[in-house]
Homo-oligomer: A and B are copies of this chain.
Amino acid sequence: MGLTDRILLAHGSGGRQSQDLLQQLIIPLFKDILLTPLDDSACLSLPAGQTAFTTDSYVVDPLFFPGGDIGRLAACGTINDLVMQGGKPLFLSLGLIIEEGLPTTDLQRILESLAAVLQDNEVRLATGDTKVVQRGQANGLYINTAGIGRCLPGVDTSSSNARPGDEVIVTGTIGDHGVAVLSHRQGVRFETELTSDVAPLWALLKPVFEHHPAALHVLRDPTRGGVAAAVCDIARASNVGVVLNERSLPIRAEVRGACSLFGLDPLDVANEGKALVVCNPKETPTLLEALRSHPLGQQAAVIGSVVAESPGLVRLRTRAGGERLVDLPAGELLPRIC
């Protein structure tokens, strides 16, 4: 029996329609990267050494946005969390919470996006689960992915590793994801389309892990809460001060424009394809060169430095020559951004 045009409650029942969804849509999409026919659980042969483990749920609204969709976001987000831990991504789990009535073609497009990212990064789908909730109880689709990776020996990226003298690199322009999703949601259009930066960072950072592991002190992806939240975390965890230079922040003109329109600080806005690298300053030129040689790192720039003064605090040297504190964003300016 063919699948219905829209997802029904019965597709989450554990009975016949659950089997149909699995056999007719999910398994064919993932057939090249599926560990075993999606069973309740999987048995993995992991390489020796430490194992990285992470989870994230994705509730972005809308499900499709310029530059990506919730499927690409879920794959990239969890891969990037493993990469930030200094891990090579190996396996993903996939938990779907679908709202009854979701067009089956939407689900298919979303899972195709997710599968493509896994395939490109040689990550296998290990296990999954599908629940369907009644209309009005999930806003389309929520996705949870958990990831397993191999911690690369000699790589230690903990937020507590920053030392005075270190420099802070961002691998590209900031604020693109949050502003793209928000603009799309609000129906705001710009002359050039703003697109999300959602991308998997394994290929960008693999050469750094392989060739410059000791240069790397801290690695973080500035997702929810943006660069501000990530740098504040680093400052507190390492008990150091951080000084950011506003002039050095790579920000696309459209993002800058949209941020003033919406009253947002680009430092607070989520990124989904960027990393913050705190590094040994002697190695900064080498790292910048390595990062810029990859398409995802062409705009990599030094945006600040680590200092001994004011431990736990982050300061911004403004364009105007002044200085202000950067704090954890408070409240929720951008709900459902990832």
* A41 pairs with B82, CB closer than 8 A: yes
Chain B residues near A45 (CB, 8 Å)?
A: 50-51
Chain B residues near A146 (CB, 8 Å)?
A: 55, 93, 95, 144, 146
A15, A59, A132, A331 pick with most chain B CB within 10 angstroms: A15
Q: How far is the CA of A57 from the CA of B58 in the complex (A)?
A: 13
Find the B residue at minimum CB distance from A140: B137
Chain B residues near A334 (CB, 8 Å)?
A: 13
Q: Does A336 contact B (CB under 8 A)?
A: yes
Tell me how many chains of this kind the complex includes: 2
* A41 pairs with B85, CB closer than 8 A: yes
Chain A residues bordering chain B, tally (CB within 8 A) = 77
The 0/1 profile, CB within 8 Å of B marked 1, for residues 105-144 of chain A is 0000000000000000000001111011110111100101
Interface of A (DSSP majority class): mixed
The minimal Cβ–Cβ distance linking A10 to chain B, given in whole angstroms, is: 4
Chain B residues near A18 (CB, 8 Å)?
A: 224-225
- CB within 8 Å of B: which of A52-71? 52-59
* A93 pairs with B15, CB closer than 8 A: no
The minimal Cβ–Cβ distance linking A263 to chain B, given in whole angstroms, is: 16
Q: How far is the CA of A331 from the CA of B13 in the complex (A)?
A: 7
Find the B residue at minimum CB distance from A91: B53
* B148 pairs with A329, CB closer than 8 A: no
The 0/1 profile, CB within 8 Å of B marked 1, for residues 189-223 of chain A is 00000000000000000000000000000000101
Chain B residues near A12 (CB, 8 Å)?
A: 224, 332, 335
Query: Known: A13-B225, A55-B95, A142-B97. Contact between A85 and B329, CB under 8 A?
Result: no
A14, A136, A268, A332 pick with most chain B CB within 10 angstroms: A14
Q: How far is the CA of A8 from the CA of B335 in the complex (A)?
A: 11
- CB within 8 Å of B: which of A1-51? 8-10, 12-19, 39-46, 48, 50-51
* A55 pairs with B136, CB closer than 8 A: no
The minimal Cβ–Cβ distance linking A328 to chain B, given in whole angstroms, is: 4
Q: Does A168 contact B (CB under 8 A)?
A: no
Find the B residue at minimum CB distance from A329: B15
Find the B residue at minimum CB distance from A147: B41
Q: How far is the CA of A43 from the CA of B9 in the complex (A)?
A: 37
Query: Known: A225-B14, A229-B14, A335-B12. Contact between A54 and B127, CB under 8 A?
Result: yes
Q: How far is the CA of A282 from the CA of B329 in the complex (A)?
A: 65
Chain B residues near A42 (CB, 8 Å)?
A: 52-54, 85
Q: Does A84 contact B (CB under 8 A)?
A: yes
Given contacts A40-B221, A41-B84, A53-B126, list 11 more A-B pairs with CB under 8 A.
Answer: A10-B332, A14-B225, A15-B225, A42-B85, A46-B46, A53-B93, A54-B127, A55-B144, A59-B133, A132-B332, A134-B335
